[in-house]
Structure 1
């Protein structure tokens, strides 16, 4: 959180300095972005994962679109839009005495409304930004049997949906050539999610009656996210 607050302070200073200049504003109608993400579990969630011999790290991707509320009529420091993404937590294996190729997958999906503030409204080498977002997060654990090399079957899914929300800050580095209207973005985010029951890591079991069982635990799924991606403007 200290990193986030420090970056927000830098945004305010950047805005103050920028107001002393008179550059030509660019009336972009929208922007779009694609990110690679690395999530690091925090608090109780990290403890739950560690107890299940998980590292606490999750890789994923996200993408979204942001719209200028004024269209091309005038430049706006705030764009609004949607972002969707997916994170995977690797695989584990169920407890079972049956012969077969079984695995357990853990995946999270999210869809958020997002507002992005950019203090610099013209073409610049460095373009800082701050995001606020809120929406829904779907947490899914699946029990899968690999039937053969090309075919698999999902035997059971455990699914929970919970609200998620947070803030983030980052900076864009202007690209060049054919991508001169794009930026390489690097950002850090805090994502909080309401407590919900999830499948405890390494607790899925196929019993002697071939019934599927799991232990569930109540926890938040808060995490710190590092995002690296490309943002384009039009």
Structure 2
């Protein structure tokens, strides 16, 4: 009987230990809509103000060593948002284009008020980090390959907050997953970039363009998955 009780205690301890997460991971499709000055800027040059990008990140349980799940996890994410491609007129023939995109690497803090697995699990995020805004003028060569002629790459800061809901979904092996949907506001500070629709290839082969100051702030709807480590 004594050995049976020891075995039961061991199994219960083992089961509880498995419920403590190292952290979590997530991947999202991101529907980004330009906001404020950035939306006005894109509208002025007849460019689309909504695009689809993605992000993904890892978050760590702050109280793992204590054997409990923390309602607050911290970590990092990377994200990408394309902002379209403009045609580039040329006096020397050929095919040229000007593409625009943003990348970010953010520190993230996520708060989950409900620690137990639940059918609907809310969360709240805060984030901050650098955003890399790239504008590249490219030539398409006769072989179908491309070559970059000019690249204007600048860095600014972005930060913001968001909230969402995870809908419980277990894999066949019993691993917990959440299908996430969230709404976010991503504020970006001023950064210099090639002005939309301004690039031009001159008769001597040089590239002419104008620069401008933009603030690529967005409102984002995210749809994806969260899993636990």
Please classify the TM superposition score into its range, dividing by the shorter chain length. Answer: 0.7 to 0.9
TM-score by length of 2: 0.87
Aligned residues: 211
Counterpart in 1 of 2:119?
125
Question: Are the equivalent residues in 2 in contact too, given 1:32–1:232 (CA < 8 A)?
Answer: yes
Distance (Å, rounded) in 2 between the aligned partners of 1:219 and 1:87: 15
SS of 1:49 mapped into structure 2: helix
Gaps of 5+ in 1: 1-23
- Structure 1 runs of 4+ aligned residues shifted over 4 Å read none
Question: Are the equivalent residues in 1 in contact too, given 2:100–2:136 (CA < 8 A)?
Answer: yes
Deviations 1:121-165 (A, max 9, x none): 011111100000000000001111111354111111011100100
Question: Are the equivalent residues in 1 in contact too, given 2:56–2:77 (CA < 8 A)?
Answer: yes
Cα RMSD after superposing both structures:
1.6
Pairing 1:84-233 to 2, within 5 Å after superposition: 84-178=78-172, 180-233=175-228
Pairing 1:17-36 to 2, within 5 Å after superposition: 26-36=19-29
TM-score by length of 1: 0.86
Counterpart in 1 of 2:52?
59
Structure with bigger gyration radius: 2
Question: Are the equivalent residues in 2 in contact too, given 1:184–1:231 (CA < 8 A)?
Answer: yes
